[in-house]
Amino acid sequence: MGRLKPIVHRTPLLTSETTNRIVGKNVYFKMENQQKTGAFKFRGATFKLMQLPKKQLKRGVITASAGNHAQGVAYAAAKLGVKATIYMGEKTPAAKVDATRNYGADVILTGETFQEAYEASLKKQMQTGAVYIHPFDDHDIMAGQGSIAMEMLRQEDRMDTIIVPIGGGGLISGIAVGAKHVNRNIKIIGVQAQGAPAMHKSFHQKRMMHITSVNTIAEGIAVKRPGQHTLPIIQEYVDDIVTVTDAEIASAILYMLERNKTLIEGAGAAAIAALFAYKDELKSRHCGIVVSGGNMDISMMPKIQQLAKSFHYSA
């Protein structure tokens, strides 16, 4: 992890007296929305590329992404002078597509979902021989994301619980292994959107579960199937996985905007939504929340406001 230190931001760990009062515990927001490229994904992408020999890097790298991984890979590749090709779903927010192109990557939009873009990228990889940089199902990617846990526990060593959003599971895998290496008693709680619960179903049924469709405002965690490598790690190291509704996610976005003057995306709001939704069941005195990203499509704000109407967080 030491090799990442000069490259990635050591993001702030913020506290909020209002939040503490509402949920009845000390809460620490790990602001990965302030990471380079606006999300935690830059960590894993950079660490992965740093492991590759120059001979492989010369062939270029390729991946598929819902948006944040794309920007992470594009920026990491640009830093190393490596050609990057990124496949993204046709419905990916324009802000994420534009940002990825601005980092110098070739972007190809295809398919309605991440899964379709992913399958197209695999075909292209076989044709070109470029190195595939998986968004979550890769041990180096997980290790890079795990640097978040090491930072959090250096910033606040009393933390007894960390709540983490889950798509394919790369972020929570790295955090769970890293955190329990430091303190094996720390609780790791995963969160998925109700409209994209593949890992939630797989975790609780103790077997790989695929879902045929996803429907959530948190497109960054809208994944139809867990990773082959992430699921066993999650089953071993994660203590529980819960789900939250889109209305709860939307309310968390507005809460952070109004109370903490910070913009976060749907995936980044999932852990905050879970904190509010499960505050009474959550046995924690010092609770860490991973705010995973802030690359939100501003055109979504009217829908978010509409969804959040039925919710209001107050002390």
144 and 222 share one domain: yes
233 belongs to a structural domain: yes
Look at residues 106, 132, 158 and tell me which one is the last residue of a structural domain.
132
- Asked if 31 and 52 sit in the same domain, the reply is no
Q: How confident is the model at residue 274 (pLDDT cuts 50, 70, 90)?
A: very high
Q: What is the number of domains present in the chain?
A: 2
Residue 11 binned pLDDT confidence (cut-offs 50, 70, 90): very high
Phi, psi of 262 (to 5 degrees): -135, 140
pTM more than 0.85: yes
Note whether 155 and 209 are same-domain residues: yes
Q: Which amino acid is at 121?
A: S
Residues 173 and 123 reside in one and the same domain: no
Active site positions, annotated: 41, 292
Domain boundary among 74, 99, 132: 132
Domain identity same for 216 and 249: yes
Separation of CA 226 from chain center: 14
- Give the per-residue pLDDT at 1: 59
Q: Is the pLDDT of residue 315 over 60?
A: no
Q: Is 182 a domain residue?
A: yes
**pLDDT band at residue 186 under the 50/70/90 scheme:** very high
Higher pLDDT, residue 276 or 313: 276
Kindly state whether residues 191 and 284 are assigned to the same domain.
Answer: yes
Q: Looking at the structure, tell me whether residues 104 and 123 fall in a common domain.
A: yes
**SS3 readout for the chain:** CCCCCCCCCCCCEECCHHHHHHHCCEEEEEEHHHCHHHECHHHHHHHHHHHCCHHHHCCCEEEEECCHHHHHHHHHHHHHCCCEEEEECCCCCHHHHHHHHHCCCEEEECCCCHHHHHHHHHHHHHHHCCEECCCCCCHHHHHHHHHHHHHHHHHCCCCCEEEEECCCCHHHHHHHHHHHHHCCCCEEEEEEECCCCHHHHHHHHCCCCCCCCCCCCCHHHCCCCCCCCHHHHHHHHCCEEEEECHHHHHHHHHHHHHHHCCCCCHHHHHHHHHHHHCCCCCCCCEEEEEECECCCCHHHHHHHHHHHCCCCCCC
131 DSSP β-pair partners:
61
Q: What is the CATH number of the domain that holds 119?
A: 3.40.50.1100
Question: 181 and 291 share a domain?
Answer: yes
Residues 206 and 278 in one domain: yes
- Shared domain for 50 and 121, answered yes or no, is yes
For residue 50, pLDDT beyond 90 = yes
Inter-axis angle of helices 266-277 and 246-260, to 10 degrees? 100
Averaged confidence pLDDT in the chain:
93
Within this chain, do residues 154 and 297 fall inside the same structural domain, yes or no? Answer: yes
- For 123, counting Cβ atoms within 10 Å of its Cβ (0-12 exposed, 13-18 middle, 19+ buried), the class is exposed
Q: Is residue 51 in a domain?
A: yes
Q: Is residue 72 part of a domain?
A: yes
Place 299 in a pLDDT band, splitting at 50, 70 and 90. Answer: confident
Same domain, 118 and 184: no
C-alpha to C-alpha distances, 37 to 102, 185, 253, nearest whole angstrom: 11, 33, 19
Structure tokens given for 171: 């972020």
Q: Is the pLDDT of residue 313 over 70?
A: no
Instruction: For residue 176, give both structure tokens.
Output: 């769970």
Give the whole-number percent of the chain exceeding pLDDT 90.
81
Mean pLDDT for the stretch of residues 178-206: 97
Q: Two tokens at 37?
A: 């490229």
Q: Is the pLDDT of residue 92 over 90?
A: no
96/105 Cα distance (integer angstroms): 12
Structural domain range at position 84 = 41-132
